[in-house]
Amino acid sequence: MFEYFLVFLGAAIPWLEIALVIPLGIISGLSPVWVILTAFIGNMLTVLVVIVGFQKVKEWMESRNRKKGKAESKRTERGKRIWNKYGMPGVALLGPIVIGTHIAAFIGLLFGANKTNATVWMSISIALWSLVFGIATALGFDLFTRNF
């Protein structure tokens, strides 16, 4: 049970997320179904926190940048390029493998997606990538262990 809590916690932490936690959980011998489900819930809950708390963070960032006279960061510029090309579906679907789910949700909201749209697309993306990472790891690990 403690191992699944670690999967949950790892998936909730930005930069660890599902792309790393799911394969590690499955390779360590945990049930692929429970690892995928636990990681999805852990990642989705913290993404929801980002979506719900977005407005406060945006106001803080804008006031901070106005005071310092700062230009946009390279990450923000990269996010804008992705947004202009693909919109919220693209940012959400590319997020877990390019910039991380938390940053993808934040960028989508920053560039104008509403909270409902961001929540729906991030849910789809996290579910899809959880399945992809889980199934690929389970099948690959099973194939590897059978042949050696």
Question: Could you tell me the pLDDT band of residue 39, with boundaries at 50, 70 and 90?
Answer: very high
Q: How far, in Å, CA of 113 to CA of 13, rounded?
A: 23
Q: What is the dihedral of CA 86, 57, 38, 26, to 10 degrees?
A: 70
% of the chain surpassing 90 pLDDT: 38
Summarize the confidence of residues 58-78 as an average pLDDT: 72
Q: How far, in Å, CA of 106 to CA of 104, rounded?
A: 5
pLDDT of residue 23: 93
User: Does 66 score more than 80 pLDDT?
Assistant: no
pLDDT of residue 70: 63
DSSP-derived letter for residue 112 is T
Question: Could you tell me the pLDDT band of residue 112, with boundaries at 50, 70 and 90?
Answer: confident
Q: How many folded domains does the chain comprise?
A: 1
pLDDT of residue 100: 87
- Cβ proximity of 7 and 38 under 8 Å: yes
Q: How far, in Å, CA of 26 to CA of 91, rounded?
A: 27
User: Does 148 score more than 60 pLDDT?
Assistant: no
Instruction: Quote the domain boundaries for residue 22.
Output: 2-147
